[in-house]
Chain A
Amino acid sequence: MKNKVLQMLFAPNGAAPSAEAAAAQELPSFEDHSAQEKRHTTCYMCACRCGIEVTVEDNQVRFIRGNPDHPINKGVLCAKGNAGIMKQMSPAKLRNPLMRKPGTERGEGEFVEVSWDEALEHLTERLREIRATDPKKLAFFTGRDQMQALTGLWAQQFGTINWAAHGGFCSVNMAAAGLYSIGQSFWEFGDPDWDRAKYFMLWGVAEDHASNPIKIGIEKLKRRGAKFVAVNPVRTGYQAVADEWVPIRPGTDGMLALAMCHVLLSRDLVDWDYLGRYTNAPFLVIDNPGQGDDGLIARDDEDQPLVFDAASGTFVDGMTPGVQAALFGEYTLPAGRRTRTVMSLIAEKYLDPQYAPEKAAEVCGLPAETIERLALEMAHVAFKETIEIECEWTDWAGRKHDRFIGRPVAMHAMRGISAHSNGFQTCRALHLLQVFLGTIDVPGGHRAKAPFPRHTPPPIKPARDTAPNTPLSAPPLGFPTSPEDLVVDAQGRPLRIDKAYSWEAPLANHGLMHMVITNAVNGDPYPIDTLILFMANMAWNSTMNTNSVQDMLRAKDEEGNYKLPFLVVVDAFHSETVNFADLVLPDTTYLERHDAISMLDRPISEPDSPCDSVRVPVLEPDRNVRPWQEVLVDLAGRLGFPAFVDEQGQPKYEGYTDFITRWEKAPGVGFLAGWRGENGDQHMRGAPNPNQWERYKENGGFFQYHLPEHMRFYRFANRDYLEWAKEVGFNPSSKPIVMELYSEVLQKFRLAGQGLYDGPLPPESVDRERLVHYFDPLPQYYVPLEEQRVDAKRYPFHAINQRPMHMYHSWDSQNAWLRQITAQNYLFMNRGRGERLGIEDKSWVWVESHNGRIRAQVKLMEGCQEDTVWTWNAIGKQSGAWGLSPDAPESKRGFLMNHLISELLPAADDERRLTNSDPVTGQAAWYDLQVSITPAEPEEAGSSWPHFDTVKPLPGAPTPPDQLRYQTHEAVPLRRSFLDIIKRR
């Protein structure tokens, strides 16, 4: 072929063909497509799970592009997804199972390679012993994985309650607030209606979140001329293209949202019909101060909530179709109890001057006029630019409607809202604002994604009791609805190692992964034997208080035994945490494995279509590595978990793919919803299909079920949808989902704090106080907990962090292409503020918090709220980790903010140490950090501080190359003919 190309190039072209013809003719064939193969799988360069088409040539990746048919990314791909080749090329890839070298200390980084048999036999014996004695001595916590349905099932079958994924330090506030209020939330739970919204408010969304879907959506909005408002202390990323930037002071978003509620109420700009019909606004709340029923919803004998029927003047079941429910007022029940409607309580609370824009202006650092204007702009779009979709649908009571009314105001929110200790209530405040405007699951508003909406909250209670060799009777994580559901012992002490579902964090729906090492090492509430960490960098950027946590991992008791006896780290790459492992199990990369991205897990559905997808291997691993999910199924068989063995006690599944194909959560409901039934002709629910994986491969690696139009909106009250959702196993009931503006669940905990609850009560006064202050049944704003305890004069700045758009947490510093874009993080601060403090651009400063200090290099910028400093976190690395050379800027000049953040709140007198988390959910309060900034001495400039010892290379690790020249085939050159040079000079 090459000769032909050369001939063509040097062919005399005196009688030149037309220019257009020449263009096509004179080009060589650049790619030998016959030597290439295209395979469809799912990206894993972040959590979005976009569909990708990978072109493979000689077991190497030629090109990764977005799958144009895929519902998530529709053909586009971000910088991370485009850099998959260099993830695969990373010199930090683990190559073999490793054990800490006998005679060396943990953290020294001395390992010996072992076989998989040896590693798994060793681990199985240890786990078998734990399971036979006290299963909760195994703690299993996972990071940014996408297989929580499997790991949760595994933990449940093992019988340990000490399992959770990373949600507790990620965004549980968002998930919990949504699921306890509106039955869905932001992120995986729901999306703005990008195709119809006319006004979009983005709250606290960092650059690295919802990568392609948000980008695609924002472009749609802008093309249509919708207004895009960004509420964020920092103007980078998405905020760059916002039509209006609202530089809010961190941690005050709840106040902003509630002040907007104040404006809407005071101007009577509320969707009353929506509120009255779909929420608990008309429900009657018992007004009986000092008694155990105070603040509970008044109920009839069938436990149904009561409303006052204005037509008949009687109290009736609030779920009676057609009842004329009074929205306001005080009513005395026949038994003499006084009640008020939820809406009366709401109006009274938020019309109070403490929520007036002028008050919020002081708190949020924004002009009062801006707050008022934004509220009125949204009201205008919601009520004056209403949209309608003509479509017959039936509501929960069987009433026919001929159209869907849409209020085209959409919002999205993420960690800027949730990573504060007031984030749960802040997120509830956002939902209240959305509901006032009538925008939840309506055209143009915020739309649920299957399996959401679910009931508020979903009826799953967390497991509490453990017993040797016995699976848990319930999943380790669930949704408490009263103090009886807490995972505490008879004395009220925490039963979980992370103290989730204890009085300190009652609604800790995702656990508190950030507390596991501290608690385990302190033996508080008890010591454990083994900690398995999967894909979580808990000795570095995923932990608070990194330096101390590393010390804890090395800590020994008086007898010289490690306080945390055995640490198993499962990862694909040489992270800082691998360095502390006793046993390292090497995982594959995302291009080398099978995965099911399931609706039982973190779903990838779109508002109009429940979806799931798969990963399939596109490359053969060249190392002695195994996919962790494969190892989990293997271990489950070895340990004889009931769900994984047959009657003879023999492993039931050949491996992960077989497990995914055959395992059923309920009859006909499995991990993958597409092509079920023996012949693959059933969707959503059906018998296992032995050829299901093949069908996914044939269909581009994903499954998308298109909901009929009449089931696409108002799903919380849409009968056909609710019945279908029950049929396919999303919800156990087809009852309507009532949005809980007023949370009776929170009130029960508050009553417990007041000592009035007829049930378990917290034994310690600090818990009682926290329940009283922070469990307001209506959304509230309070000053974040760290800020309440530190001296604002001494630590005047809020310190927050995000990842750049082209990087995902700690992963991408090992990526040769992405680190060319960013290899050092800076401390960004407002230019004017910096200059007033005498801090120059690019100078070095000390950043100090109550927990310690770091040295960092400053960059001054305009787009930063004046009381805020921020950085790209997770770029700072421990020297030698992640396959980087010891002098890499990531470790010499980059820094971690984590050193400044304590996992515990500053100590207070006569009080046990409390987690630095949201008091409702246990969400890690990363963004509550308060710091001071002072210039460093001239001789201190040039390097960050603290420094850590250089991590040693692992056995068999390749020497990272000084130069990379990646290509999958020799380039086919394009030459210029000499004739052309002569003719056109």
Chain B
Amino acid sequence: MKLGLVIDTDTCVGCHACVVACKQWNTSGTLGPLTDYQPYGKEPSGVAFNRVRTYEVDTYPNNKTINMPMSCMHCETADCVTVCPTGASFKRAEDGIVLVDQDKCMGCNLCAWACPYGARELDEAVGTMKKCTLCVDRIYDEQLPEAERQPACVITCPTSARTFGDLDDPDSQVSRLVRERNGYQSMPELGYNPVNHYLPPRHKPHAETTPGASLPSLTERFKSWLDKAVVR
């Protein structure tokens, strides 16, 4: 299994629902709590596994705004795992989820340096590295109704821009989306082979115009209407 996310930039409006859903689930989840620093102070920040980055493409008035939620890509060639000196970082053989064993992590930051996607988050309060678990504490929880065994970011997304599934299975919804919508990996040239994929904006729908009737003048137009009556 190769579990991961497919994220649709055609419908992502950058609303941060996924960001906060992730935060609220995971702060009481297996890696919780996710510390918040200066929550009411000068420089509020905190541990977050998922962040939205917003870009503008092209220039006014042809500009387009693109929102890219970014979290761990659960790379197939995960350097963050290879560089870990303690074995705390690992990629599960069963499903490919990249995790950090908090008891073995010494907070050395090497994995954060290795990750080009900025997915690693050092919890300074405890000195360990944390990151997206793909909600491993939801997706296998058989006490949750089946429809809920999804990452928190996926169930909450108001524009259904996030889909979770097995990218190893060609018949899965995620694999189909990648095929049908030309899904792509972020920065594939770096060679980490991310499991997560993004869907590009759809082509603009073709909109036809209807010319309507043309008449030489407005007087003619009025004349043409003079006998117009409708049944009440």
* A interface with B by C-beta (< 8 Å): 19-20, 22-24, 27, 30-31, 33, 57, 62-66, 68, 73, 75-83, 85, 91, 199, 207, 211-212, 215-216, 218-219, 222-223, 225-227, 235-241, 243-245, 247, 264-269, 272-273, 275-277, 282, 307, 310-311, 318-329, 347, 351, 373, 376-377, 379-381, 383-384, 805-806, 814, 816-821, 823, 830-832, 861-864, 866, 883-885, 887-889, 960-969, 971-976, 978, 980-981, 984-985
Contacts and interface: CB of A to CB of B under 8 A. Distances in A.
Contacts of B48: 820
Contact of A971 (B17, B29, B99, B211): B29
A817 B99 contact: no
A883 B39 CA distance: 10
Contacts of A325: 229-232
Main secondary structure of the interface of B (DSSP, over half): loop
A885 B40 contact: yes
Interface string B11-45: 11111110111011101111111011111111111
Contact of A821 (B16, B141, B221): B16
A222 B202 contact: yes
Given A19-B1, A82-B21, A245-B63, 12 more contacts: A27-B140, A83-B20, A265-B221, A268-B215, A320-B232, A326-B228, A327-B229, A328-B226, A380-B210, A968-B28, A971-B29, A973-B101
B155 interface: yes
Given A820-B44, A820-B48, A79 B103 contact: no
Contacts of B165: none
Contacts of A961: 39-40
A817 B160 contact: no
Interface in B137-176: 137, 140-141, 143, 147-148, 152, 155-161
Contacts of B221: 265-266, 268, 351
A525 B60 CA distance: 49
A686 to B, nearest CB: 33
A717 to B, nearest CB: 10
B231 A324 contact: yes
A245 B226 contact: no
A464 to B, nearest CB: 37
A20 B166 CA distance: 13
B109 interface: no
Contacts of B207: 199, 227, 377, 380-381
A976 B231 contact: no
Interface string B108-149: 000000000000000001000000010011001101000110
Contacts of B152: 63, 65
B213 interface: yes
Contact of A243 (B140, B143, B204, B211): B204
A79 B60 contact: no
Interface in B75-132: 87-88, 90, 92-95, 99, 101-104, 125
B230 A327 contact: yes
Contact of A76 (B133, B157, B230): B157
11 contacts: A62-B28, A82-B20, A222-B10, A239-B65, A272-B228, A273-B231, A347-B225, A376-B211, A819-B39, A885-B42, A887-B41
A865 to B, nearest CB: 8
A290 B161 CA distance: 61
Contacts of A239: 65
A710 to B, nearest CB: 21
B190 interface: no
Nearest to B60: A862
A219 B67 contact: no
B208 interface: yes
B56 interface: yes
B87 A30 contact: no
Q: Most A CB atoms within 10 A — which of B33, B35, B61, B92?
A: B61
Given A31-B143, A243-B205, A862 B59 contact: yes
4 closest residue pairs by CB, A with B: A276-B230, A267-B212, A816-B39, A376-B209
Interface residues of B, number: 100
A870 to B, nearest CB: 14
Nearest to B225: A328
Contacts of A64: 24
Interface string B39-59: 111111110100000101011
Contacts of B140: 23-24, 27
Nearest to B201: A241
Contacts of A238: 13
Nearest to A278: B232
B36 A964 contact: yes
Nearest to A77: B156
Nearest to B147: A68
Given A77-B17, A966-B33, A247 B39 contact: no
A17 to B, nearest CB: 10
A319 B16 contact: no
A965 B16 contact: no
Nearest to A92: B40
A113 B33 CA distance: 35
A384 B211 CA distance: 11
Nearest to A240: B65
Contacts of B66: 240
B156 A66 contact: yes
Contacts of A819: 39, 44
B230 A275 contact: yes
A647 to B, nearest CB: 51
Contacts of A823: 44
A94 to B, nearest CB: 16
B65 A236 contact: yes
B212 A379 contact: yes
Contacts of B21: 65, 77, 82
Contacts of A211: 15, 158
A22 B147 contact: no
B30 A832 contact: no
B180 interface: no
B103 A973 contact: yes
A376 B90 CA distance: 58
A13 to B, nearest CB: 11
A240 B14 contact: yes
Contact of B214 (A68, A81, A267, A380): A267
Contacts of B224: 268
B156 A76 contact: yes
A816 B40 contact: yes
B99 A974 contact: yes
B159 A219 contact: yes
B125 A963 contact: yes
Nearest to B136: A974
Nearest to B91: A984
A975 B205 contact: no
Given A962-B41, A969-B28, A321 B36 contact: no
Contacts of B67: 240
Given A77-B158, A79-B15, A963-B36, A863 B42 contact: no
Given A30-B137, A241-B11, A805-B14, A971 B59 contact: no
Contacts of B36: 816-817, 820, 963-966
B123 to A, nearest CB: 9
Given A310-B229, A961-B40, A965-B125, A215 B158 contact: yes
A327 B228 CA distance: 6
Given A63-B25, A383-B210, A78 B232 contact: no
Contact of A321 (B20, B30, B202, B232): B232
A386 to B, nearest CB: 12
Contacts of B63: 235, 245, 862-863
